Chain A
Amino acid sequence: MTSAANASHVASALSVIDILSVLYTGTAVITPENTEAADRDIVILSKGHAASALYTVLALQEFFPMDWLQNYCQDDASLGGHVTSKGVPGVELSTGSLGHGLPYGVGIAMARKMTGTAGRVFVVMSDGECDEGTTWESAMIANHHNLDNLVVIVDRNRIQSLTFTEDTLKLEPFANKWEAFGWEARVVNGHDYNELTLAVTKSNSPVCVIAETTKGKGVGFMENSILWHYKSPSGSDVEKAFFQLSENY
């Protein structure tokens, strides 16, 4: 999909796909049948550059036909290189500019509180995205308004656009930061389905799950490599990647 579209961010997608799989296979109450229900769970992929992972999960869960994936990034396709909501069932918010998903999710969580509407809000963010000021503004707001219906999952792969997060703008002590903002922080293995499922259980405060992940997970030559934030896999790369993924999963 990424190769055919000559698109970037395949490693970001491999990093987050387990998190999205856990959410869309039952952890979040969102199905092709309830996408308009007022009390559905909301999933926002704020790291919009990992769109290919979200689209794949949505297609597998039958939110839209599998063959849409073939048109990813093509002329006039519904599925753009960054997460697009228009005409795409299951997508709540178009993203691609970092730092937008959390304020939007905070707004929905707050509206649910105001009206006593059930359903939780899950915002999946990148760790690089935590450089954005809106992340910490919104963290304060969510705590102030006791939004215990809000869960942030940070895809903590430790790599951002140009280099490692800790060499760019230190996030550590990361869990402590969220705790200092009044959130419950839970650090888990972001590729372990059981750990992820347990990590998003309800608390009496907003929850931040720091999902320790590997960028490019499952494909040796992509893992923890800065290059694969942008590089699009060519024919032989694709073959190798599929082989390794089939070995690893």
Chain B
Amino acid sequence: MRDTFAQTLFEEAKKDKNIILMTGDLGFGVLDRFQQELPNQFINSGVNEQSLMGMAAGIASTGKRVFVYSIGNFPTLRCLEQIRNDVCLMNNSVVVVSVGAGYAYGPQGYTHHALEDIAVMRALPNMQVIVPADPIETRILTQLLVKSKLPSYLRLGRSNEKNIHLKDINIKQGKFIEIEKGKFGTLIFSGSIGDIALEAAANLKLIGYPVSIVSCPFISNLDHEYLVVAAAKGPIVTIEEHSSRGGLGSSILEFLSFAKITSSLAIIAAEQKNPSQVGSQEFLRKSNGLSSERIIEKFRALLEF
């Protein structure tokens, strides 16, 4: 995803001098081409996320679209007040880009696990939170972010994610992306955890309980229309590589509750029982309850089969 992002932004920046890419000294091997070929649109400010974000806001205030690239919690939690005051409340055109969603940097330890970022970014005024599931979504959403002027947060996986979508897709602002239809319920995922969701949906189909499966890239701008229909159709299960507090499932629950829609909903999120645990993304997902088996269990309980 990060390479697709870098390549897409590079292509867009070649056409538009107003696109600026900033980094807090991260992106080795990822941002090289951008830096070499578009040096006047690239700034590595050094290791100083708070100043970096304040500067990004200042640059954006002059009419630029500024992308700030870093990893894990560095471009979000480390400089949260700069994002709140100088980007969001001043309505400056900055896109915060973080690579390493969830447990993507699993072996590096909890300093590098990004599990609260969606909740925190989503709480900020004027902020649009965007979470692509695969390289195809990353390309389209990066193009969309280039055109948008809104303060934004782009949450990326890391590298080598497989494409979840088998063909090119259409993405509309504020809409879910439906991958398959199924009459027994709806499985909603966000981010690269989609591979597990797809596996679960395939198994549910095999045992005679096909469910709809959708990707939700716009967490701060949910597809209300789709949710109303889905809640009426059957149970909803959500899965995300993030804390259960304030993420995808939580935001869907808030909507359904505010709209007074009765539904049967199960949220699968990172359990964080032992935050100090290290290991591969695959290992940490499993040990924190993020698996296709858990999805099937939840549907089994809600559908009583």
Partner of A107 from B46, B50, B58, B63 at Cβ < 8 Å: B58
B101 at the interface (CB under 8 A from A): no
Question: Which of chain B's residues has its CB closest to A115's CB?
Answer: B62
- The minimal Cβ–Cβ distance linking A86 to chain B, given in whole angstroms, is 8
Partner among A99, A108, A137, A141 whose Cβ is within 8 Å of the Cβ of B62: A108
Q: Which residues of A contact B278 (CB under 8 A)?
A: none
Interface size range of chain A in the complex: 20 to 34
**How far apart are the CA atoms of A208 and B146 in the complex, in Å?**
36
CB pair B85 A107 closer than 8 Å: no
Q: Is A69 part of the binding interface, using a Cβ–Cβ cutoff of 8 Å?
A: no
Contact indicator A100/B82 (Cβ below 8 Å): yes
Give the chain B neighbours of A92 by CB distance below 8 A: 61
Quick one: which of B45, B50, B52 contacts A133, CB cutoff 8 A?
B50
Complex: A14 Cα to B67 Cα, angstroms: 40
Known: A140-B46, A141-B48. A107 touches B81 (CB 8 A): no
Q: How far is the CB of A68 from chain B (nearest CB, A)?
A: 21
Q: A200 contacts the other chain (Cβ, under 8 Å)?
A: no
- Is A111 close to B, CB under 8 A? yes
B64 neighbours in A (Cβ, 8 Å): 111
Q: Which residues of B contact A144 (CB under 8 A)?
A: 46
Using known A-B contacts A103-B82, A114-B40, A141-B46, determine if residue A134 contacts B51 with beta carbons closer than 8 Å. Answer: yes
Q: Is A106 an interface residue (CB 8 A)?
A: yes
Q: Is the interface of B mostly helix, strand, loop or mixed?
A: helix
Q: Are A107 and B90 in contact (CB under 8 A)?
A: no
Return chain A residues, CB-CB under 8 Å to B82: 100, 103
Determine if B55 is an interface residue (Cβ-Cβ < 8 Å): yes
Which residues of chain B are within 8 angstroms of A94 by Cβ–Cβ distance? 85, 89-90
Confirm or deny: B248 has a beta carbon within 8 angstroms of a beta carbon on chain A: no
Interface of A is mostly: helix
A145 and chain B: residue at smallest CB distance? B43
- Are A97 and B90 interface neighbours, CB within 8 A? no
Contact among A109, A112, A115, A141 for B51, CB-based, below 8 A = A141
Tell me, rounded to whole Å, the shortest Cβ–Cβ distance linking A115 to chain B: 7
Separation in Å of the A150 CB from the closest CB of chain B? Answer: 11
B117 proximal to A (CB < 8 A): no
Given A94-B85, A137-B48, A141-B46; A106-B90 close (CB under 8 Å): no
- Find out whether the CB atom of A107 lies under 8 angstroms from the CB atom of B56: yes
- Given A106-B51, A137-B48, the answer on whether A97 and B57 have CB atoms closer than 8 Å is no
* Nearest-CB residue, chain A, relative to B62: A111
Residue in chain B with minimal CB distance to A106: B55
B59 adjacent to chain A (CB < 8 Å): yes
Contact A100 B85 (CB under 8 A): yes
B116 close to chain A: CB less than 8 A:
no
Say whether, besides A97-B81, A110-B43, A141-B48, A104 and B58 are in contact (CB < 8 Å).
yes
**CB neighbours of A140 from chain B (8 A):** 46, 48
Q: Is the CB–CB distance between B55 and A100 below 8 Å?
A: no
List of A residues within 8 angstroms of B20 by Cβ: 114
Residue positions of B touching A, CB distance < 8 A: 20, 40, 43, 45-46, 48, 50-64, 81-82, 85-86, 89-90
- Show 25 A/B contacts (Cβ-Cβ < 8 Å), sorted by A: A94-B85, A97-B81, A99-B50, A100-B82, A100-B85, A102-B51, A102-B54, A103-B53, A103-B54, A103-B82, A106-B55, A107-B60, A108-B58, A108-B61, A109-B58, A110-B43, A110-B58, A110-B59, A111-B59, A111-B62, A133-B50, A138-B54, A140-B46, A140-B48, A141-B48
Residues in A lying within 8 Å of B, measured CB to CB: 38, 85, 92-94, 97, 99-100, 102-112, 114-115, 117, 133-134, 137-138, 140-141, 144
Q: Which 5 A-B pairs have the closest CB atoms?
A: A107-B58, A103-B54, A107-B55, A104-B58, A137-B51
A107-B55, A111-B62 given; name 11 further pairs at CB < 8 Å.
A94-B89, A103-B52, A104-B58, A108-B58, A108-B61, A134-B50, A138-B54, A138-B55, A140-B48, A141-B51, A141-B55
